[in-house]
A and B are shown apart, each in its own frame.
Chain A
Amino acid sequence: MHKRLIIFLLVLISVSCVPACTLSAPVTSDGSVPTMTTLRVWSQHDLTDQSRTTSVLMQQHVADFEAATGISVEYEQIAWDQLAPKLALAVQSGGVVPDVVETGRQHIPTLFHVGALAALDDLLAAETWVAELDERDSQSCIIDGHRYCVANLVRGGITYYRASAFPDGFPETHSAWLDAGARLQAEGMYLSTFFAGRSYAAIEWAWAPWIYSNGGRIFDEQGRPAWATPEVAEVLDYARTLFARGYLPARIITGDIPTGELPWIEGEAASFRGGTWSFLYVPNLREGIETDTVRVTGGLRFNDGSAYVFLNNESWIVPTGARNPTAAAAWISSLMQPDFLAAWSKAQFGIPTHPAAQALPDFDTPFYQQIMSILREQGRYMDRSPYYVESMDTLAIAVQEILLNPELDIQQRLQAAEVEILQRYW
């Protein structure tokens, strides 16, 4: 009896191991690997949310793609800030990766560095639209002469201001900002509000454009941090002054992204540094623009330097190890068709990278013409670094400490942050 029980247990264990040992690509009876009929897509858009134009458009696009290609789309919604980390984790841990993923420009160097990006040159070789994309695509997606992504639309930082608070127009220089701050403070208003927390996004939106305008950099040509410079220190000292004088709300230093929007929404701030996409999240912004009570402008000029605004994009990539790269290329190609691309870009308040889509009537409005002009003239992608997020987060933490502690030596703190990254990665 015992012997039978033991044999039964051993057989059970052996049988349970068999499926694990035979996990591999399915093979047909003639020995060939069957054509893949599914496409796994990771994107931030929620297909169940019918109140958002992007969701409705994406849902329709999935249906159209399936009907046109016969490929079944397995769509997975993943939060925007989790798309790149999840993909990097999946690739590095040897897990199952999707076939095509939406991401942003800032994550491309890191994803490339961890080996998560497949080259698209061969996959897209037959597509004529590739050669027609504007330079915002190639600046982002061509690395070492090879294409690793397709940037379908660009978005950027932009400043919204209440026309009534700035009767003589919005101040364009850092010294004029101080004057305006003093005047508005007397009227009981903050000069501006924006996200200034301890995340890389704060550097991208808030501080980097000012640092660039002041002649500074975030990373050097090799992607190493270049923060401990007088140009960066001067900008942070200026930011400290704005907070110390109460021209900016102190809560935005420790708050999250919505906290940076609140003083504007609550009517406490005269201007708001957000993005072209802020319409999606900030109430009454669209109405304000339409009634001309709210206007848009670009960046701030430091010490007679040029004004810059943060530039980002939506990019589509095919991960290393994707099971169906051909279908992924077809998916990307379908996204780039001018009519869809125009509608898709407009829904996200972005600018398409394909000139044929840009030329469509969707973008022939005063608002779009203005933001296209701002992004064209002032838009600047962030410097590249293979250790982008960890470096930028380290800088953001240092900046937060500098802003919160007026006694802290700016140059020394920047130096310490720089050394931390250099010692670790370089």
Chain B
Amino acid sequence: MVAPRRSGRTRFTLLVVVLTAVTLLTLDVRGVGPIDSARRITLSALSPVADAVAWVLSPVGNAWNGITRFDEVERENAELHARLDELAGDDARETSARETLQRFLEQADVTFAGDVPQVVGRVVSGPVSAFELSVTIDKGADDGIREGMPVVTGAGLVGRVQLVTDRRSVIQLIVDPRFSVGARHVPTQGLGLIEGRGSGRPLSFVVPGDVEVGVGDLLETSGLDRSLYPPDVPIGRIIALDPEAGPEAGTAEDGDGTDPSTTTTTAIPGASGSLPSLEPVETQSVAVELHARLDRLTFLTVLLWEPAR
């Protein structure tokens, strides 16, 4: 006689937690409630402790990554040895360490942001979950960072600020499928949209079908009025006219950019009439390789840019 009553209570408990979770889900999806504040408080509370624990246990993690990524480390080691030999045999043997350092600083310097104020932060942790495509840096609202600001390296755009606490910022990486940015096709000045497609996959550049795109063409932020990003920030280059192609597809032959498999028809509002007339516009989607490397991010620069309102 006890079992059915207990079973009923068990199901009731499950029902309560499921309904609570679904309620929270619905509220968050609809943007209701102080959920972002709860996230900020949690991140602020746990980050200092996690940093301390990470510092203590970093040899363990380094050793593990050294073991599991041995082939990669060995390859890098070989490359570095080759580079070292090259430098040793170089006529510029007398080049001082200071000049070498200066060259490094020039490469790391962000030169494309004009007079936009910048804050450089160190990457202190990766994503908590394998599904997340984000990193956390050690600078936050105290340094002037606000949500939505663009994040770059010396090579170009890498993401945007997703969440800010006083001393931490979570950066959503550009490869996140929820990320999109208006882009300008440099050779033709055609405008389109770059979208992330997940880790390890090239970005997608969606552009009107009449824009002639080719492999190797460069893409930059559009810088349109009220754009979320400043103009002329490098993003990447087109590596294939097939959006499903991987990075190895960079040798694909140049075409007219209207591969039927990637062409869609979209309706955009026209300019005349009291009601917008919808004229079909063909679009094409091509694969884009990011300029910046996301696998070894150490320092990131936040551009303290806020779009004009």
> Is chain B found bound to chain A in the same assembly?
no
> Which positions in A face B, CB cutoff 8 Å?
none
